[in-house]
Amino acid sequence: MDLKNIKIETQKEIKNAKNIKALDEIFRKYLGKKGEITQIFDSLKKLSEEKKRKIGRQANLLKNEFKEEIKKKLEKIKKEERELKLKKEKIDISRPGKKIESGHLHPLTLIQREIEEIFNSMGFEIAEGPEIESEWYNFDGLNFPPDHPAREMQDTFFLKQKNREKLPPSKKFVLRTHTSPAQIRYMEKHQPPLRIIVPGRVFRHEATDAGHESNFYHLEGLMVGKDISVANFKAIIEEFLRRLFKTDLEIRLRPSYFPFVEPGFEIDMTCLICKGKGCFLCSKTGWLELMGAGMVHPNVFKNSGLIPHQLNNEGWQGFAFGIGLDRLSMMKYKINDIRLFYSGNLRFLKQI
Ligand code: FA5
């Protein structure tokens, strides 16, 4: 076909093309590898210099016009398709919109934040400690004698280490069994008077039931000054529980033993699940064990580099306590099984 006929033919075909696919086929028919216009360019090398220049110029003109027409038609087809789509689309503005679900905080985070706010308002700072802790901070520094059965009070997850038995306590690691190690870590770096709380995750190798988990949360409290006493402790804890539960409840202090306090006690509160009548959660006693507490042992002060209280009124004294956050949350939100917190069950979490 000569250039003139190609021009007439391409114009006709482009005009009749109904969609992008047809247009693409036309483009390839003329400008593809074996396309008709391409072939004209290929044949130029056989022509004389003069003809080559003349036909080459005409072929270039034809190619540019062809490309321009394809481009124009493509835009036209796209525009028509857009208009057709819009015509077909119907928007029903009376339909209700899609609801965006918003999540909420986990009950343990909620209780932690609420407790932090209450203690903050009573002048307590928030401190932190590591979850992987050395035996020194978790036990020895807290006055647990080596090989003393007291270490077994808290079934421990010990980390595997090469030649562990030969390492000093500061180089042997455990998953912390309580947040009490943070007492020493804090007192090593800060001079009293001080008031802190330390919320955090703790781990114990124990069988689980409605009231026990092997991974749960503690909140440590520590208040140290010149003359801080058990009376201050009782006042602060009563005020704290009153604000948290916004209801009348009783607490009781029972003498207890923790190597890092002297004297030591355990604090129970009325079981709010059964209102003190006795249920499976409180082992039918009507009381729920909430925290351990006591006056900081002189050895703990010494191990933190501080001088404990002495008769000439030199040195420091104060109280410490460790609350089970899960149990508090269970009381606050009336949850009867601690394992629900860690189940990842959305049907449970959505009720809070
Ligand atoms: C301690 O861990 C001491 N460090 C507390 C302490 C701090 C005493 C400062 C004196 C001074 P205890 O082992 O009792 O104490 O644990 C504290 C609280 O954690 C308990 O009262 C209980 O509420 C909670 N708790 C203990 N074991 C579990 C468990 N397996 N699952 C859930 N909560 C638990």
User: From atom 17 of ligand 1, which residue's Cα is the shortest distance away?
Assistant: 291
Alpha carbon distance 257, 184 (integer Å)? 19
Regarding the beta carbon of 212 and ligand 1, being less than 6 Å apart is answered yes
- Using 50, 70 and 90 to split pLDDT, how confident is the model at 73? very high
Q: What is the model's pLDDT at position 65?
A: 94
Q: What is the pLDDT of residues 304-319, one digit of tens each?
A: 999 999 877 789 999 9
Q: Higher-confidence residue: 190 or 271?
A: 190
Question: For residue 250, what pLDDT is reported?
Answer: 83
pLDDT on residue 90: 84
Residue bearing the CA closest to ligand 1, atom 24: 324
Residue appearing with tokens 């595997």: 160
Residues 6+ apart with CB under 8 A from 153: none
If you search the block for the tokens 């009563």, which residue do you land on?
238
Cβ-contact 305, 188 below 8 angstroms: yes
Mean pLDDT of 2-27: 92
Q: Which atom of ligand 1 is nearest to the CA of 221?
A: 9
Please give the radius of gyration of the chain, using alpha carbons only, rounded to the nearest integer: 40
Q: Number of H helices and number of E strands within the chain? A: 11, 9
Question: What tens digit of pLDDT does each residue of 39-63 get?
Answer: 999 898 888 989 899 999 999 999 9
> Whose CA is closest to atom 15 on ligand 1?
292
What's the pLDDT at 154? 63
Confidence of residue 1 (pLDDT cuts 50, 70, 90): low
Going from the Cα of 253 to the center of ligand 1, the distance in angstroms, rounded, reads: 14
How do residues 94-140 score in pLDDT, each as one tens digit? 888 888 888 889 999 999 999 999 999 999 999 999 999 999 999 99
C-alpha neighbours within 13 Å on the C-beta side of residue 112: 19
Torsion-angle region of 63 (φ positive above 0: left; ψ -120 to 50: alpha; else: beta): alpha
Q: Per-residue pLDDT for 225 more than 90?
A: yes
pTM exceeding 0.75: no
Q: Residue 89 pLDDT more than 90?
A: no
| Cβ neighbours of 275 (radius 10 Å) | 11
Nearest ligand 1 atom, CA 264 = 10
213 lines ligand 1 (CB under 6 A): yes
Atom number of ligand 1 nearest to Cα 213: 31
Q: What pLDDT shows up at residue 153?
A: 59
How distant, in Å, are the alpha carbons of 6, 12, 67, 69, 189 from that of 72? 18, 14, 9, 5, 77
